Amino acid sequence: MTKKIYVIVSLLFFVFLTSCLDTEERIVINKNNSGIYTLTLDMSKMLTLMDQMGQANKDDSKIQEKKDSTVYFKSFVDTSTALTAKEKEMFKDGSLRMRVDEAEKELIIVLNFPFRHIGDLPELKSSYLSVIDKLGISNKLKNPGDSGSAEDMPADIAKDKNILNPARDAFAFAAAPGKLSNTLVSKDIFNNRIQNDSSMQMLQQMSMMMGDMNYKTIIVLPKKVKKYKGNQTILSDDKKTLTFLTTLSDMLNRPEAAEYSVEY
């Protein structure tokens, strides 16, 4: 894997949970209240931007990277001494896939976490970044012969929840049989964190260069929706799939755009 790609992969710890770039969050709930939580991060715009910024140093003879790699958490979870017993049970079936095609300017990262009960989902969503950091998953995607060094990976960045998610205390996600919600708890906390966090300022500058950053939440239910509320909502014909859409700029101007609630 090239050093450039490795640096971008390192950035996933910096941008997850901030609605950065084009992100799709999918929650699939089964009849027995088990399900799958999937997060797809399309970082292709960033790859294009980095290419544009590096045109002067571009080597046309260099072979462009094309790779599709998946890391399954189980073997690392089983031998980990850093995870708690509960974390091991919750994340043992997780995986991280990275698909990159430099020629096509494509870079997509997919996180996939099955859960046994919907009640586990809030904790799963709040702790998966910490677990990824403890397991050193990003290093598993790096080939032994790659030119990236330890300096390319900000190893401590995922430990700082304020850096990872400046507005983490402003929202509360809840899930139980028959209902899910994402609620703005404090607009003041949101505004204060956004105004004073350098990472969010960087994201706003990036959106000016790359276009707005889109965030999509898709909820697939085992039965028809009874009641729902959210931003730019799309309900499927069978009334079992809900899609909520928002953008980074909309959320920054109106944090309520990230709120939603579903009853089924």
Residue-wise pLDDT tens digits, 50-100:
666 555 555 555 667 788 989 899 989 999 999 999 999 999 999 999 888
Percent with pLDDT over 90 in the chain? 43
How much is the average pLDDT of 148-169?
44
**Does the pLDDT at position 230 exceed 90?**
yes
Residues with Cβ within 8 Å of residue 105, at least 6 apart in sequence: 44, 47, 48, 51
pLDDT for 95? 94
Claim: this prediction has a pTM higher than 0.75: yes
pLDDT at 204 over 70: no
The predicted structure's pLDDT at residue 210: 60
Residue 223: pLDDT band by 50, 70, 90 thresholds? very high
Residue 185 has pLDDT above 70, yes or no: yes
Instruction: Reply yes or no on whether the pLDDT at 263 is more than 80.
Output: yes
Polymer length of the chain: 264
- 70-74, 132-136, 142-146, 222-226: which has the minimum mean pLDDT? 142-146
The pLDDT of residue 175 is above 90: yes
pLDDT at 144: 41
Mean pLDDT of the chain: 78
Q: Is the pLDDT of residue 164 over 60?
A: no
